Amino acid sequence: MTLTATATRGAVLRPLTQVDRATIEAFSRAIPLFRPEEVEVALEVLDASFKPGQMDYITMGAELDGRLVGWICWGPTPCTVGTYDMYWVAVDPSVQGAGVGSLLVAEMERRLAGEARLIVVETGGRREYGPTRAFYMKRGYRIAARVPDFYAPGDDQVIFVKTPADPRAEESAKRR
């Protein structure tokens, strides 16, 4: 079933717990773009986010009709000042294109407002990743670099960046 944008208005953001791991694994394995080893890496990141007291991986989930259908993970990039990596974002294939991914990215950006100088996200350059790249571009991310043959011969890495609006800077600009 493909949900419409109207249905997405019912999407609810919520924190993730270890109980959600099986659901995230199941819908991640149903995403044809992801190779099995990529799903393993996603689950490692998810597991790391559950470690008490850690500050490196922040996650958020999205539910539709009481069912977890998407998640996002981000965190401060080590050895940088104000740079954050969006490590992972994935939406259950049955509801892709209905606004859940946008909701998750908007929530990450809301939480990083005034804190992140730069948000970085890496993705694939292959044709199959075209919709994913379009997704980032529509959310205001721009291509900063392309690393040829990064993932495999003929499989480039594309690095997107976004400079989030700083509400404090906007406030002080208004006062000037």
Ligand X SMILES: CC(C)(COP(=O)(O)OP(=O)(O)OC[C@H]1O[C@@H](n2cnc3c(N)ncnc32)[C@H](O)[C@@H]1OP(=O)(O)O)[C@@H](O)C(=O)NCCC(=O)NCCS
> What are the backbone angles phi and psi of residue 21, rounded to the nearest 5°?
-55, -45
Nearer to ligand X, 122 or 166 (CB): 122
Nearer to ligand X, 75 or 101 (CB): 101
Say if residues 135 and 98 touch (Cβ distance below 8 Å). no
Closest CB 50 distance from ligand X, rounded Å: 21
Closest CB 85 distance from ligand X, rounded Å: 11
Burial state string for 112-145 with b = 16 or more CB within 10 A and e = fewer than 16: beeebebbbbebbbbeebeebbebbeebebeeee
Nearer to ligand X, 113 or 134 (CB): 134
Nearest residue (beta carbon) to ligand X: 101
Closest CB 136 distance from ligand X, rounded Å: 8
Tell me the C-alpha distance between 116 and 84, whole Å.
Answer: 6
| Chain positions contacting ligand X, by CB under 6 A | 31, 33, 89-91, 96-102, 123, 131-132, 134-135, 138
